[in-house]
Amino acid sequence: MFVSRKISESTVRRLSHYLRSLEGFPDIGGTVSSEELAARGQTTAAQVRKDLSHFGSFGKRGLGYSVDQLRDRLRSILGVDRSWRVALVGAGRIGLALFEYPAFRSRGYDCVAIFDSDPEKIGQAWADQVVRSPDEFEKVINELDVELVILALPADGAQEMAMRAVDAGVQGILNFAPIRLNVPPEVPVEDVNLVMELEALSFQITQGEQDA
Amino acid sequence: MFVSRKISESTVRRLSHYLRSLEGFPDIGGTVSSEELAARGQTTAAQVRKDLSHFGSFGKRGLGYSVDQLRDRLRSILGVDRSWRVALVGAGRIGLALFEYPAFRSRGYDCVAIFDSDPEKIGQAWADQVVRSPDEFEKVINELDVELVILALPADGAQEMAMRAVDAGVQGILNFAPIRLNVPPEVPVEDVNLVMELEALSFQITQGEQDA
DNA sequence: TTACTTTTGTGAAGAATTTCACAATACAGT
DNA sequence: ACTGTATTGTGAAATTCTTCACAAAAGTAA
Ligand SMILES: NC(=O)c1ccc[n+]([C@@H]2O[C@H](COP(=O)([O-])OP(=O)(O)OC[C@H]3O[C@@H](n4cnc5c(N)ncnc54)[C@H](O)[C@@H]3O)[C@@H](O)[C@H]2O)c1
Ligand SMILES: NC(=O)c1ccc[n+]([C@@H]2O[C@H](COP(=O)([O-])OP(=O)(O)OC[C@H]3O[C@@H](n4cnc5c(N)ncnc54)[C@H](O)[C@@H]3O)[C@@H](O)[C@H]2O)c1
């Protein structure tokens, strides 16, 4: 019934999926069943109900869940019923792609500062932002009250910038650099490692062939 | 002792980590213990041994694993002891970042074709490649014997291109579009959803604060 | 050869996650 | 009000994943 601490990683991923599905319903006032939600995700109705039950019971037996209500509840559970101030560190190729990706801003992740160590890039205008020197990092993080940092810089600078971000009071890190960051356990880090995703594919293909 | 089918997703992710760690050892002829490997990953020695034991036993009691041997074995398990022919679909911001990312090629993922539907982009040269029209898709996939496809196009075109890729004989899909692709179960799909990663962060931060 | 140290490989125990299955309940129709 | 249908919320069972713990090597040193 109540938030019993320790929600599993996979549950959180599924909650994101449910929210994404619900945002597909432009429908006002409708309802959705755990069965329907399961079909759109890639899971079972029982799993959907169990996932949601960790946070309370907001369905109606015989009817399902109110789309509007469930969507709001999921937004609040996932912390996207507000906006987050994000800084981008590394104004390279992946940094640019992320910066220009509209889905971030539309979900409430607001890029309020960009840093790069390359003197050629410092001072460049990116939309409403100017690329800043890492020398200003702590000052800017504090002044703008940055909560999240996206690390899109080469691996050799990532650990240092992660530490500086934590020391400056940043609350979470999305890391694209292919290294395991060492940060205090209370600061969550999510790693994105695309080589690993490709390896997962080639693993599955290779294994599959061994069966045949 | 033998590949007993059904290796868990988390095991595969850890195998990738182990391989990445081992590639950090330029050391020729050395050995590494499960303890050391665990420290570099973010796991336990028992987990390392259990993961490896699914594929045979290639350590020496009292000594550990031969770095060279284990690295080769992991490469072969993950299917990266060969090169893979990859096509990129969608020559946009994320497509460009991926195309120029050197770690892919160096791991054996070779981008051999690029497709985009934008007439402005078709014909553009990208390094050694030329952006092609999706009209040529099936022909090119077959001629170049493409095995993997990276979908970096907007969500509304992704399902169609996934299906065409499968029909053309592609064996795996790395999908950046924020939709759940519908493909036959024997074709592995890996999804990359960055909004979900950010939501995982904001969830953890939000939850953490509720404790305090 | 024997004693000692180290570290693997693995069954068994323990923990976590998913699935099952069903009583509880909400509404619709008559 | 009653009957029928749909669908939740949730203990319990089943399954999957992780950790434990220790006998079985393998090397080293005396
Ligand atoms: N391009 C991709 O598709 C891709 C995919 C996955 C992971 N990555 C990883 O993302 C990171 C960035 O990749 P990229 O392709 O954008 O590289 P890039 O070389 O295009 O950009 C990196 C940027 O970081 C800047 N930088 C370097 N040190 C810095 C520091 N200390 N502080 C601030 N900025 C600094 C550089 O000046 C450069 O502008 C790398 O770690 C890479 O491994 C990239
Ligand atoms: N930019 C990011 O950081 C980011 C992050 C996560 C996910 N994504 C996702 O990745 C995908 C691409 O994002 P982007 O930012 O590169 O977008 P983009 O608009 O920069 O590029 C998309 C490209 O795909 C092409 N395209 C459209 N339909 C096509 C078709 N049927 N066949 C071939 N090409 C086609 C377009 O012409 C365009 O060049 C989107 O689904 C987006 O949601 C992007």
Spacing of C-alpha B109 from chain mean position: 9
Q: Which pLDDT score is estimated for A75? A: 97
Q: Measured between alpha carbons, how far is B165 from B123 in angstroms, rounded to an integer?
A: 21
Question: Do A73 and A124 fall within a single domain?
Answer: no
Q: Are residues B100 and B169 in the same domain?
A: yes
**Mean pLDDT, residues B60-72:** 95
Rounded CA–C1' distance between A33 and C29, in angstroms: 22
Instruction: State whether A153 and A110 are in the same domain.
Output: yes
What's the confidence (pLDDT) of residue B158? 98
Distances, alpha carbon B113 to alpha carbons A51, A199, B89, B140, B143, in Å: 42, 20, 8, 8, 11
Higher-confidence position of B1 and B50: B50
User: Which residue carries 């002829």 as its tokens?
Assistant: B29
Dihedral in degrees, nearest 10, Cα atoms A118, A119, A123, A129: 10
User: What CA–CA distance (Å, rounded) separates A27 from A46?
Assistant: 24
Q: Ligand 1 pocket by C-beta < 6 Å: which residues?
A: A 89-95, 115-118, 121, 134, 152-155, 157, 161, 176-178, 194; B 97-98, 101, 103
In a domain, A3, yes or no: no
Find the residue in B nearest to A203 (Cα).
Answer: B78
Instruction: Answer with the one of A39, A62, A78 that is the final residue of a domain.
Output: A78
- CA A148, A93, B190: angle at the middle one, nearest 5? 75
Looking at the structure, tell me whether residues A65 and A100 fall in a common domain.
no
Same domain for B186 and B90, yes or no, is yes
Of the CA atoms within 13 Å of residue A99, those in its CB half-sphere come to 24
Predicted TM-score (pTM) of this structure: 0.96
End of a domain among A47, A78, A109?
Answer: A78
Looking at the structure, do residues B73 and B121 belong to the same domain, yes or no?
no
Nearest-ligand number for the alpha carbon of A120: 1
Residue A120 lies in a domain: yes
- How many angstroms separate the alpha carbon of residue B211 from the centre of ligand 2? 39
Q: Does B184 touch chain A (CB under 8 A)?
A: no
How many contacts does A have with B, using Cβ atoms within 8 A?
A: 175
Contact B67, B16 (CB under 8 A): no
Task: Assign B4 a pLDDT band (cuts: 50, 70, 90).
Answer: low
Q: Could you tell me if A39 and A90 lie in one domain?
A: no
Yes or no: say if B162 and B191 are a contact pair by the CB < 8 Å rule: no
Residue A166's domain is classified under what CATH number? 3.40.50.720
Q: Which domain range does residue B124 map to?
A: 84-195
For ligand 2, pick from B141, B153, B159, B192 the residue to mutate: most ligand atoms within 8 Å of CB. Answer: B153
Write out pLDDT tens, residues B28-56: 789 999 999 999 999 999 999 999 999 99
Does position A3 have pLDDT exceeding 70, yes or no?
Answer: no
> Is B107 within a domain?
yes
- Smallest CA–CA distance, residue A202 to chain B, in Å, is 5
Q: Per-residue pLDDT for A58 more than 90? A: no
Backbone angles phi, psi at B129, to 5 degrees: -110, 160
Nearest CA in chain B to A98: B94
- Residue B87, C-beta contacts closer than 8 angstroms, at least 6 positions apart: B111, B112, B113, B114, B115, B140, B141, B144, B146, B148, B149, B150, B165, B170
Q: Which helix (H) or strand (E) holds A73?
A: helix A67-78
State the Cα–Cα distance between residues A156 and B128, nearest whole angstrom: 29
Report the distance separating Cα B21 and Cα B74, nearest Å. Answer: 11
- Taking the CA of residue B184 and the C1' sugar atom of nucleotide C22, their distance in angstroms comes to 34
Residue scoring higher pLDDT (B95 or A27): B95
pLDDT at B10 over 50: yes
For range A155-180, the mean pLDDT = 98
CA distance A192 to B23: 19
What's the gap between Cα A135 and its chain centre? 27
Residue of B204, B206, B211 to mutate for A, most A C-beta atoms under 10 A: B204
Looking at residue A64, which CATH number applies to its domain?
1.10.10.10
What tokens appear for B179 in the block? 């939709």
Does the pLDDT value for residue A211 go beyond 70? no
Task: Count how many domains chain A has.
Answer: 2
Residue A205: count other Cβ atoms within 10 Å of its Cβ: 18
User: Is the pLDDT reported for residue A1 higher than 50?
Assistant: no
A143 and A111 share one domain: yes
Task: Tell which of A19, A201, A211 to mutate to test the B interface (max B CBs under 10 Å).
Answer: A201
Structural domain contains residue B64: yes
Residue B27's Cβ-count burial label (10 Å; 0-12, 13-18, 19+) is exposed
Site from B202, B205, B211 to mutate, A interface, most A CB atoms within 10 angstroms: B202
Give the pLDDT score at B3.
54
Query: How many beta carbons lie within 10 A of that of residue A37, not counting itself?
Result: 24
- Give the closest of B107, B192, B201 to A188, CB-based: B201
Residue nearest to atom 29 of ligand 1 (CA): A117
Q: Are residues B63 and B90 in the same domain?
A: no
Beta carbon of B157 within 6 Å of any ligand 2 atom: yes
User: CB-based contact (8 Å) between A41 and chain B?
Assistant: yes
**How crowded is residue B43: how many other Cβ atoms within 10 Å of its Cβ?**
18
Over residues A90-95, mean pLDDT: 98
Query: What mean pLDDT do residues B20-30 have?
Result: 86
Contact present, B172 and A204 (Cβ < 8 Å): yes
- pLDDT score of B92: 98
B174 with B88, same domain: the answer is yes
Q: What pLDDT does residue B211 have? A: 62
Inform me whether the C-beta atom of residue A60 falls under 8 Å from chain B C-beta atoms: no
Task: Indicate the burial class of B156 (C-beta count within 10 angstroms; 0-12, 13-18, 19 or more).
Answer: exposed
Last residue of a domain, one of B19, B48, B78: B78
Give domain status of residue A175, yes or no. yes
Q: H or E element: which one contains A37?
A: helix A34-40
Helix spans in B54-189 (H): 67-78, 93-99, 102-106, 137-144, 155-167
Same domain? For B88 and B190 the reply is yes
B108 lines ligand 2 (CB under 6 A): no
Quick one: pLDDT at residue A212? 55
pLDDT at B82 exceeding the cut of 90: yes
Whether pLDDT at A12 is above 70: yes
- Give yes or no for residue B2 having a pLDDT over 70: no
Give me the mean pLDDT over the A170-188 stretch. Answer: 96
The whole-angstrom separation of Cα A51 and Cα A102 is 29
**Which candidate from A100, A173, A197 shows the least CB-CB separation from B93?**
A100
pLDDT digits (tens, 9 = 90+) for B130-164: 999 999 999 999 999 999 999 999 999 999 999 99
Mean per-residue pLDDT, B56-71: 94
**A49 and A112 part of one domain:** no
> First-to-last CA distance in chain B?
47
